[in-house]
Structure 1
Amino acid sequence: MQLSAAPYDERLTAPRSWWFLCFLAGASLALIMVPFGTLPMLAGLAGGTAAAAVVVSAYGSVRIRVVNGHLIAGEAKIPASALGDAEVLDAEEARAWRGPKADPRAFMLLRAYVPGALRVTVTDPEDPTPYVFLSTREPERLAQALRAARDAADAA
């Protein structure tokens, strides 16, 4: 099966300020290496910055897509037909659903630097997951794409 063009595709990239923190991590390692000389100090700067950049890049590379009637969020692939209503959450509601309202059985794709979120109920009776919680910068657009995918699956 070949994937068609996705009606929704979002990468939850890390904020720009985190890239500056990568440089600070490298500078910290360089300071640790100062007693060993100039070359180890420069290697610490380069190595620390590169290692921190790899971590930030990996953390910010997660994607949320709606493709061929499926919601693909990180490693999860859920058919749209198994999803119910989507609730758009503002920053305050999202914080509550990440904390005291959270269900430990829920699938959560969290990114603290993304204030908005979408909570989608799982309607599959075989699945113990009560809902899917997704951090997203465009919750309304994602909810619309999921509705369209679910409607297309119901029509088929």
Structure 2
Amino acid sequence: MTEYRERLLPPLTVFLATALLIPATLLVFLPINEVVGVVAAIVFYVAAVLALVLTSPVLTIDAEGFAAGRARLYPHEIGEAVAFTGSAATAERGPRLDARAWTLFRGWVKPVVKVSLTDESDPAPYWLVSTRKPDEVVRGLDGIRQRTPGR
């Protein structure tokens, strides 16, 4: 059972900006052949949109732990989680960032959640992950921590 799931998709403006591939492709291919130019423009745009969607990481909180993209923290590895928004989030991603931290940022998602790790042998002191709903992520992680035996 999944408690939380979020795909960090780009905003609509990124998809609109990607539409600039259409006139650029037409400019290159129309002198060669009109049909090829139109088909190439459509194919390039669809490929770019698919790449943006399919490569967008997914955050998941479930009984098995916390997954951010391909990485996973198991319940016993999850420490305190803290949400940051606004200028505090900017500071966490910038001057306050520990170079050893594991990060998953997306430029179009400003809030972040900082998850401390309980595994002393892990070289990363914490995870810092972009999310549009930092309070929900913190609640979900706190819920996992409370259900973990031995805490």
Post-superposition offset of 1:89? 0.3
Deviation at 1:27, TM superposition (A): 2.1
In the alignment, structure 1 residue 95 sits paired with structure 2 residue 90: yes
CA distance in 2, matches of 1:55, 1:7: 27
Using the alignment, how far apart are the partners of 1:44 and 1:99 within structure 2?
40
Structure 1: which amino acid aligns with 2:16? Answer: F
Give structure 1 stretches of 5+ with no counterpart.
none
Q: Shift of residue 50 of structure 1?
A: 1.7
1:41 aligns with 2:8: no
Identity %: 26
Residue from 9, 14, 23 that aligns with 1:18: 14
Equivalent position amino acid for 2:110 in 1: P
Cα displacement string for residues 86-141 of structure 1 (whole angstroms, at most 9, x for unaligned residues): 11101322222222222222111111111111011112111111111110111111
Aligned counterparts, 1:58-137, within 5 A: 58-60=54-56, 62-137=57-132
Q: Which residue in the other structure is 1:31 paired with?
A: 27
Give how far 1:145 is off: 0.7
Shift of 1:155: 5.7
Task: Give the CA deviation at 1:40.
Answer: 2.3
What's the secondary structure of 1:84's corresponding residue?
strand
What's the RMSD between the two structures over aligned residues? 1.6
- Structure 1 runs of 4+ off > 2 angstroms? none
| TM-score normalised over the length of structure 1 | 0.88
Q: Which of the two has greater helix per residue?
A: 1
Equivalent AA in structure 2 for residue 122 of structure 1: L
- Aligned residue pairs, count: 151
Unaligned runs of 5+ in 2: none
